[in-house]
Amino acid sequence: MTRPGVVIAGTGQAGFQAAASLRQQGYVESITLIGDEPHIPYQRPPLSKEFVAGKQDVRHLFFRPESFYSTNRIDLLKGETVTGIERASRRVRLASGSSIPYDTLILATGARVRELPVSGVCYLRTLDDSTAIKHRLQTVEHVVIAGGGFIGLEIAAVARGLGKSVTVVEVQPRLMPRVVSPIISDFYRNLHASHGVEVVLGAGLTEIGPRPADLVIAGIGVLPNGELARDAGLATRDGILVDEYLRTEDENIYAIGDCAAHPNPFAGGRIRIESVQNAVDQAVCVASAIAGQRKPYHDVPWFWTDQFDIKLQMVGLSGGYDRVITRGNTGSGKFSVFYFRAGRLLAIDSVNRPGDHMAGRKLLANRIPLTPDQAADESVDLKKLS
C-alpha cells in the first residue's frame, strides 16, 4: 500500500521547489501540491519587471509545463484552499469539502499584501494582479505608487519606461529604508529622478482625491500567511515559528519560504525572509530531510532587484551594521557597499558589479574574513580571497 506521503500547502516558489526537489532526491511516495491560485506554479519576480512591462510572455513565468506534474507523479490541485490541519489524524481539510492524509506536511503558504485603508488602490502579488496592472498601464497616463521599496520602485521604472508620468510616495525619509544604507537609497533616488520619476519622501498616501491619478499602486509590504498553522495550535509570531531544520513544533509539519520565521545564523536570531533564494534553499533543505539527509538551514541570504538598466544584488543581512565601506565610485553607476559590525563583514550590496556579489557570496558562506581596508582597496582581488 502506498503511504500518504507529503502534502504541500502552497504552490509558490517554495512549494513548487519542495515537490520538484523531493523527486530529484529520490522520494518515491505520494506528493500532493495544493494551491489556491488558478494557475500552475509560476515565478513572481517578473511580475514587477519584464512581464508587467509587456516584454515577457506568460508561458515563461511557469516553472515547468503542466505535463511535468503528472510525469513526476505530483498531484497538483489548483484553485484549492487548505482550510485546516487535523494534526492528531494527520489530515488537511480542503475548501472543496474533502480531506487528504499526510505523513509529512509542508506549509509553503507565502505572504499576502499589506493593504492601505484607502479604496481604489491596486496591489501586486499574483499573476492576476500583474496582468490587471499590465492592462491598465496600456491606457493610463499617470501612475502614483505608494511605497518606495523594491516592488514599488520596480513598477515605477516600468511605468516610466512606458512613458507614463510617475510619482512614488514613501513615508520614510529615504527609499528602500528597511534594507539598504543611505548611500544606496540616495543613488536610487537620483536614478529615478534622472529618468523623470517624481519621488516624494516622508509622506504617506491617505486618500485619493476627487481627480484621482489614473492608476494608484501600493507596494507597502506583506503579511505572512500563518493562520493555518496558528489555528492548528502551532506557534506563530510574524510567521510560522520553525527550528533550524525548518520544522514547526509538530515534527511532521515543516514551514518554508515567505511564511517561515526561522533561526538564521546571518541574522543572529529569528527572521522571516522574502526572497527567491530563501524559498528555494529552504525547500531543498526540507526535501533533503524528508528524503533522509537532515541538515540545518544555514544558506547565505541573497536578493536582487532590477530598476531601469541597474541591477542591485544583495548578499548577507546588513541589519545592525556600524560601518559601511564603498568600493568603486557611486557616480560611475558601478559600486558596492560593504556592511561591517565590529570589523566583521555582514553584507554587500552591489550596483552593477556582479563580480563583487559572487565573491561576497563565497566570502560570507565560507566565513572568510575581509577587513574594511581590503573592502575599500580595489587592488585587492575579492575573487582570489574567496
- Quick one: which H or E segment has residue 194? helix 182-194
Each residue 216-235 as x (binds ligand FAD by CB under 6 A) or -, in order, gives ---------x--x-------
Q: C-beta of 280: minimal distance to ligand FAD in Å?
A: 9
Select the span of 39-47, 98-106, 206-214, 377-385 touching ligand FAD (CB under 6 A): 39-47
User: Judged by CB under 6 A, does residue 48 bind ligand FAD?
Assistant: yes
End-to-end CA, the chain: 50
C-alpha 271/C-alpha 258 separation (Å) is 10
Q: C-beta of 361: minimal distance to ligand FAD in Å?
A: 14
> Using the rule CB under 6 A, which residue among 61, 74, 108, 346 binds ligand FAD?
108
Q: Which residue in the block uniquely carries the three cell numbers 514547526?
A: 248
Select the span of 66-74, 172-180, 268-276, 285-293 touching ligand FAD (CB under 6 A): 268-276
DSSP 8-class letter at 235: -
Select the span of 210-218, 272-280, 308-316, 339-347 touching ligand FAD (CB under 6 A): 272-280
Angle between helices 182-194 and 150-161 (to 10 degrees): 20
Choice between 257 and 328, CB closer to ligand FAD: 257
> Using the rule CB under 6 A, which residue among 19, 40, 258, 266 binds ligand FAD?
258
DSSP 8-class letter at 64: S
> Using the rule CB under 6 A, which residue among 21, 30, 32, 109 binds ligand FAD?
109
Choice between 19 and 279, CB closer to ligand FAD: 279
Task: Quickly list DSSP for 237-303.
Answer: SSSEE--TTSB-SSTTEEE-GGGEEEEETTTTEEE---SHHHHHHHHHHHHHHHTT------PPPEE
> Using the rule CB under 6 A, which residue among 33, 40, 184, 279 binds ligand FAD?
279
Contact 144, 213 (CB under 8 A): yes
Q: Among 199, 208, 180, 198, which residue's Cα sits nearest to residue 305?
A: 180
C-alpha cell at 319: 541589519
- Dihedrals φ, ψ of 27, to 5°? -70, 130
Choice between 124 and 347, CB closer to ligand FAD: 124
Angle between helices 13-24 and 276-290 (to 10 degrees): 40
C-alpha 357/C-alpha 354 separation (Å) is 5
Q: C-beta of 210: minimal distance to ligand FAD in Å?
A: 30
Q: C-beta of 53: minimal distance to ligand FAD in Å?
A: 12
Residues making contact with ligand FAD (CB under 6 A):
9-15, 34-37, 44-45, 47-48, 81-82, 108-111, 124-125, 151, 225, 228, 257-258, 274-277, 279, 303-305
